[in-house]
Amino acid sequence: MNTNVTSQPFSTEATTMADHAADSASSAIRSTQNAANAALDRLANKVEVARDQAVPLINRLSSQAETAARRGVEAVRDTSAQLRERAMKASDSTVGYIKDEPVKAMLIAAATGAALMALVSLISRSNRAD
């Protein structure tokens, strides 16, 4: 019987298997890296789309806030002018009343002063009692 079987030494087979395992591992790493890169690219695209959609919304909100602030300032300005005008009218009517009725104006002022003094006196007495 002729048994001319050529077999590779055990160390050569082990080396070949190790090389195949290393190639498989490298292939798996490349595949994982490619999948990770593709996922990152998709995520970057989605972030870009979201940013592009957010910019007009932020600009619109900013414009609306600015418009509301301007309206508020104008309302305060108008109210201030109206109050100033009313104060001037009240002052003019008071001066006119004093010119027309000086005696009554003097008596009203004296009565108001006396009432205020009585009120201050009552408050100070109640504070001393405590």
pLDDT in tens, 50-64: 988 899 999 999 999
Question: In the predicted model, is pLDDT for residue 44 greater than 80?
Answer: yes
Q: Which strand (E) or helix (H) includes residue 79? A: helix 10-100
Six-digit token pair at 89?
Answer: 């009218």
How far, in Å, CA of 29 to CA of 93, rounded?
Answer: 93
Measured on CA atoms in the order 15, 19, 25, 28, is the torsion positive or negative? Answer: negative
pLDDT in tens, 61-90: 999 999 999 999 999 999 999 999 999 999
How far, in Å, CA of 96 to CA of 18, rounded?
Answer: 113
| Band (1; pLDDT cuts 50, 70, 90) | very low
Q: Is 106 in contact with 113 (CB distance < 8 Å)?
A: no
Structural domain boundaries in the chain: 22-100
How many C-beta atoms lie closer than 10 Å to residue 1's C-beta?
Answer: 3
How far, in Å, CA of 104 to CA of 73, rounded?
Answer: 43
